[in-house]
């Protein structure tokens, strides 16, 4: 018994000695992967613009929005944000209308998610989402854009399904 255990131990030591550089490289790559995944770009680096919502009652509500304009920014969105101004938000624009799903992983504030078509018409509102939840949130139909606002903002400001967002990313209605 002792001989078999010694032989296996020697084999493992020989394997490790002969492959130490490869093992070191794999370990370094594995350690670096979480570091890259944890990189958080400051919101100040995201493009900013103005967006207005025209309600059915004719009220115009203005916002300063950050735009998620890359896959990395799409993925980050408002993750790790602890507070946001009442008239601020994050705008996600997609190259074409598609089935959109979102979640609240690593998002510390409740959000209202306004799902919009190519014209900027609000088709669906997911109100007061739950912070840090991994539940999937999304409308039943394909959408072109999502605007994230502070949770409860749509109700407080009188924004409803059928209202329009005005922004250069949307086609102008005829």
Q: For residues 69 and 143, state if they share a domain.
A: yes
Q: Rounded mean pLDDT of the chain? A: 85
pLDDT above 60 (res 57): yes
Q: Is residue 33 part of a domain?
A: yes
Amino acid 5: pLDDT: 46
Q: For residues 29 and 113, state if they share a domain.
A: no
At 64 the three-state DSSP class reads strand
Q: For residues 54 and 13, state if they share a domain.
A: no
Q: For residues 85 and 160, state if they share a domain.
A: yes
Range of the domain at 11: 2-37
Q: What percent of the chain has pLDDT over 90?
A: 75
Structure token pair of residue 138? 């999304």
Q: What percent of the chain has pLDDT over 70?
A: 77
Q: For residues 29 and 69, state if they share a domain.
A: no
Higher-scoring residue by pLDDT: 154, 14: 154
pLDDT above 90 (res 118): yes
Q: Which residues contact 161 (CB under 8 A, 6 or more apart)?
A: 122, 123, 124, 125
- CATH code where residue 123 lies: 2.60.120.1140
User: What is the Cα–Cα distance from 110 to 132, expressed in whole angstroms?
Assistant: 9
Q: Which of 48, 78, 75, 76 is nearest to 64 (CA)?
A: 48
User: What is the Cα–Cα distance from 48 to 118, expressed in whole angstroms?
Assistant: 20
The band of 107, judged by pLDDT with boundaries at 50, 70 and 90, is: very high
Q: Is residue 173 part of a domain?
A: no
User: What is the Cα–Cα distance from 141 to 152, expressed in whole angstroms?
Assistant: 23
Contact 109, 78 (CB under 8 A): yes
Q: For residues 26 and 64, state if they share a domain.
A: no
pLDDT mean over 153-172: 96
Q: Is residue 98 part of a domain?
A: yes
Provide the domain count of the chain.
2
Instruction: Give the chain's end-to-end CA distance (angstroms, integer).
Output: 86
Q: For residues 91 and 115, state if they share a domain.
A: yes
> For residue range 31-43, what is the model confidence (pLDDT) as tens digits?
444 444 568 899 9
């Amino acid at each position: 018994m002792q001989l078999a255990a010694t032989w296996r131990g020697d084999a493992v030591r020989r394997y490790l000695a002969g492959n130490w550089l490869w093992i070191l490289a794999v370990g370094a790559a594995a350690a670096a992967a979480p570091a890259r995944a944890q990189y958080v770009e400051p919101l100040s680096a995201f493009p900013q613009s103005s967006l207005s919502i025209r309600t059915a009652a004719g009220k115009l509500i203005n916002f300063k929005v950050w735009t998620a304009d890359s896959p990395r920014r799409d993925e980050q969105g408002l993750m790790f944000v602890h507070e946001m101004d009442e008239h601020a938000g994050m705008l996600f624009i997609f190259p074409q209308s598609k089935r959109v799903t979102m979640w609240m992983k690593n998002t510390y504030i409740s959000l209202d998610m306004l799902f919009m078509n190519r014209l900027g018409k609000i088709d669906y509102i997911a109100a007061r989402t739950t912070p840090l939840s991994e539940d999937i949130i999304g409308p039943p139909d394909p959408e072109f854009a999502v605007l994230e606002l502070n949770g409860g903002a749509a109700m407080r400001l009188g924004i409803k399904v059928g209202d329009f967002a005005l922004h250069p990313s949307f086609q102008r209605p005829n």
